[in-house]
Amino acid sequence: MNNKRPQNIKIPWFFIILLAGMIILLLVPFRVMSERLTANELRQVLDRPEEISQAAIELSQEGMAAELILELSDGRSVKATVPDAMEVMDRLDQTGVDYMISGMAETSFFDSFPMVLMAIITFFFIFMLMGARSGAGGMNQRMANFGKSRARLSTEGNVKFSDVAGMEEEKKELKEVVEFLRHPLRFSTMGARIPKGIILVGSPGTGKTLLAKAVAGEAGVPFYSISGSDFVEMYVGVGAARVRDLFEEAKRTSPCIVFIDEIDAVARRRGTGLGGSHDEREQTLNQLLVEMDGFAQNQGIIVMAATNRVDILDPAIMRPGRFDRKVTVGRPDVRARKQILELHARNKRLSEDVDLERLSRTTAGFTGADLENLLNEAAIEATIDGREAISSNDIEEAFIKTGIGTEKRSRVISERDRRITAYHETGHAILFHELEDVGPVHIISIIPTGEGAAGYTMPVPEKDDMHVTRTQLIHMMMAALGGRIAEELVFNDITTGASQDIKQVTKIARAMVMQYGMSDKVGMINYEENGDDVFLGYDIAHNKTYSDKMLSIIDDEVRSLVDSCYADAKAIIIRHRDVLEKSCALLMEKEKLTGEEFDALFISACSGENASE
Ligand code: ADP
Ligand code: MG
Ligand code: ZN
């Protein structure tokens, strides 16, 4: 069948109107006036015949049953199905109520309208499902229009990189993509391999959508955006049809950007998640992968996707030729926050007493969206109060008024907490720097992550070594202990901030003793029961597979392993106490240090020592 798809069939609209109509019908019955009575109510009505002003009996075609319709003196109209028409007639005769008798009314249009609608809709769905499932074919083509992608072609605003404050790293990574979209041919003749898919990872409100739009805006190409959750419909096949359609459209207008927001909604690791539209998601994901594999690199389509949960994504989508590039969009550091505030203050009138610099310093952990929202609320506040410009008081109010107020104000971190975090993270970093088998440091940050961590220290990703050595494991444990050690050294006290670290250390130590045969006393016996995430002590205790004696030996071994790591790590940090102080001071100022900035501290520390000697 060769049929160009008619472009403008508005089936979805038609459908939506039908559906709305049906809902209205169901909620507001057409014959409001005929309220159906229960047997009991009917009896009551018949007991007071003086209140009946009119009556009609509709006899059914066969049998004794009939519809009794009564108009009451208070204007109400009621009806009931009575089992025996004769009996009712007798009754009415006795009470002297006059009535009309008719055959069962021919079903009026209004009576059957909901039924007809229901039938149409059911029919429609059956069509649609068949269409979506059967792959190709004319019917499918037409029906797939229902699954027409909801992608919105956005030309709105034409966002540029200059509208995205901060994010220097991220923009740098994406410049290349912009270049490619501008001159796809140039790249393909050169044989350069350009990523097809880029995944933006970051908390909500960090500016992922904005950034993707800016890439399109900079390159001057169309920007199609759709949300993963739009794909996931109740009906199997619709999502896949939408994906197909989206890419068809994209191919027609390439070069362009296809942006899939909340990709985790479709691309969750297969076999996880709870029931529901399970099949549907899988089909949609498969279709997405097929499409991405299908178009050639030089076709000029770049798929960008956003998520805040990269850990739950199906590994299949990260394979080469798919979303093989990952750009992490972090929460803004103090400088970036100032830039964001300045950017959003551009079109607002601020009074003299507003100090954006100070505001940026007290909003660690806020995302770009939080900051934008804050200023906006302040502007509303000022307007309501009829002020000329936004005062610092308005901003204070905005803190309280917005969601940011109640829930995140607590996130406005005290100076003391920031210091603790700075020392803690530097503790990790020093060990990453000093130990050979881990690190080096990539980034140290004391910007709260929003997922509960007060900061983080990120080593450069390690090579995928096939074998992890004992030394490596020891070094990993030492680095993890660094945070706690630094706190202890500086404050002479410890905080609860190291619980994740301790968990990790415990996990490694246990694995070394119980799985990897790295303890002499325990030997090469596997004591692991069910995968490594089970709380082993519990498991073992309940299975009684091992003797209590063995258990206590295991405990001792784990313990002594951790203790010795602790001692060694502490010695290293003590040796670099000066770095600890300097790094902490720098972090307090900048919130975020790159690996180079951190390494430089060691050099200056060394030369400092030399000079003093
Ligand atoms: P995400 O997609 O990561 O949830 P958005 O891109 O939708 O976040 O950002 C929401 C809003 O927050 C943007 O429209 C913008 O006003 C503001 N915003 C976020 N990050 C920035 C930034 N770096 N510079 C300027 N504005 C930002
Ligand atoms: Mg978004
Ligand atoms: Zn830590």
For residues 544 and 488, state if they share a domain.
yes
Q: Which ligand is nearest to the CA of 335?
A: 1
Q: Which ligand is nearest to the CA of 497?
A: 3
> Cβ(468) to ligand 1 under 6 A?
no
What CATH code is carried by the domain that includes residue 365? 1.10.8.60
What CATH code is carried by the domain that includes residue 65? 3.30.720.210
For residues 324 and 391, state if they share a domain.
no
Kindly state the tokens that stand for 437: 């088998």
For residues 383 and 440, state if they share a domain.
no
Give the per-residue pLDDT at 143: 45
For residues 87 and 209, state if they share a domain.
no
CA 38 – ligand 2 centroid, Å: 53
Torsion of CA 419, 424, 428, 429, to 10 degrees: 0
Tally the domains of the chain. Answer: 4
- Indicate the residue among 328, 353, 387 that finishes a domain: 328
> Cβ(200) to ligand 1 under 6 A?
no
Query: Which residue owns the Cα nearest ligand 1 atom 12?
Result: 369
Per the domain annotation, does 75 fall within a domain? yes
User: Which ligand 1 atom is the nearest neighbour of the CA of 306?
Assistant: 2
Nearest to 227, CA basis, from 279, 266, 276, 270: 266
Dist CA 151 CA 233 (whole Å): 15
Cis peptide before 12 (omega within 30 of 0): no
> Which residues place a Cβ less than 5 A from the ion ligand 3?
483, 501
> Cβ(225) to ligand 1 under 6 A?
no
Ligand 1 pocket: which of 264, 341, 372 to mutate (most atoms <8 Å of CB)?
A: 372
Q: Which ligand is nearest to the CA of 212?
A: 1
Scored b (16 or more CB within 10 A) or e, 84-97 reads: ebeebbeebeeeeb
| 505 φ/ψ sector (left φ>0, alpha ψ -120 to 50, else beta) | alpha
Tell me how long the chain is. Answer: 613
Per the domain annotation, does 162 fall within a domain? yes
> Cβ(368) to ligand 1 under 6 A?
yes
Give the per-residue pLDDT at 51: 83
Scored b (16 or more CB within 10 A) or e, 45-83 reads: bbeeeebbeebbbbbeeeeeebbbbbbeeeeeebbbebe
Query: Which residue owns the Cα nearest ligand 1 atom 17?
Result: 369
Q: Which ligand is nearest to the CA of 429?
A: 3
Torsion of CA 214, 217, 219, 221, to 10 degrees: 120
566, HSE (Cβ side, Cα atoms, 13 Å): 15
Give the per-residue pLDDT at 191: 78
> Cβ(210) to ligand 1 under 6 A?
yes
Torsion of CA 506, 511, 514, 520, to 10 degrees: -90
Give the per-residue pLDDT at 242: 85
Per the domain annotation, does 147 fall within a domain? no
- Indicate the residue among 103, 137, 164 that finishes a domain: 103
Q: Which long-range contacts (CB under 8 A, 24 or more apart) does 485-489 make?
A: 485/427, 485/566, 485/569, 485/570, 485/573, 486/423, 486/424, 486/426, 486/427, 486/428, 486/430, 486/573, 486/580, 487/420, 487/423, 487/424, 487/427, 489/570, 489/573, 489/574, 489/577, 489/580
CA 486 – ligand 3 centroid, Å: 10
Dist CA 446 CA 460 (whole Å): 17
CA 417 – ligand 3 centroid, Å: 14
- Indicate the residue among 301, 328, 355 that finishes a domain: 328
Kindly state the tokens that stand for 372: 């934008």
For residues 322 and 360, state if they share a domain.
no
**To which residue do tokens 């519990």 refer?**
538
User: Which ligand 1 atom is the nearest neighbour of the CA of 207?
Assistant: 6
Q: Pick the catalytic residue: 249, 377, 425, 487?
A: 425
CA 506 – ligand 3 centroid, Å: 14
> Cβ(204) to ligand 1 under 6 A?
yes
For residues 593 and 463, state if they share a domain.
yes
> Cβ(207) to ligand 1 under 6 A?
yes
> Cβ(165) to ligand 1 under 6 A?
yes
Query: Which residue owns the Cα nearest ligand 1 atom 18?
Result: 368
CA gyration radius for the chain?
35
> Cβ(164) to ligand 1 under 6 A?
yes
For residues 374 and 311, state if they share a domain.
no
Per the domain annotation, does 489 fall within a domain? yes
Average pLDDT per block of 10 residues along the chain, 613 residues long: 42 69 63 71 82 81 76 82 79 80 58 68 64 44 48 68 92 91 83 85 93 94 87 70 88 90 82 56 84 78 91 85 88 93 93 90 87 92 90 85 53 80 95 90 86 78 70 94 95 84 92 87 72 48 66 90 96 96 94 92 64 38
Dist CA 265 CA 243 (whole Å): 14
> Cβ(159) to ligand 1 under 6 A?
no
Is the CA virtual torsion 224, 225, 228, 229 positive or negative?
Answer: negative
CA 423 – ligand 3 centroid, Å: 10
Give the per-residue pLDDT at 30: 46
Per the domain annotation, does 230 fall within a domain? yes
CA 306 – ligand 1 centroid, Å: 13
For residues 437 and 391, state if they share a domain.
no
Give the per-residue pLDDT at 45: 81
For residues 434 and 573, state if they share a domain.
yes
CA 497 – ligand 3 centroid, Å: 7
CA 499 – ligand 3 centroid, Å: 8
For residues 299 and 206, state if they share a domain.
yes
326, amino acid identity: K
Beta-carbon count within 10 A of 216 CB: 27
What CATH code is carried by the domain that includes residue 443? 1.20.58.760
For residues 255 and 358, state if they share a domain.
no
Per the domain annotation, does 113 fall within a domain? no
> Cβ(305) to ligand 1 under 6 A?
no
- Which residues constitute the domain of residue 314? 152-328
The DSSP string of 592-607 is EEEHHHHHHHHHHHHH
Ligand 1 pocket: which of 152, 210, 328, 376 to mutate (most atoms <8 Å of CB)?
A: 210
Has 342 been annotated as catalytic? no
For residues 461 and 395, state if they share a domain.
no
> Cβ(209) to ligand 1 under 6 A?
yes
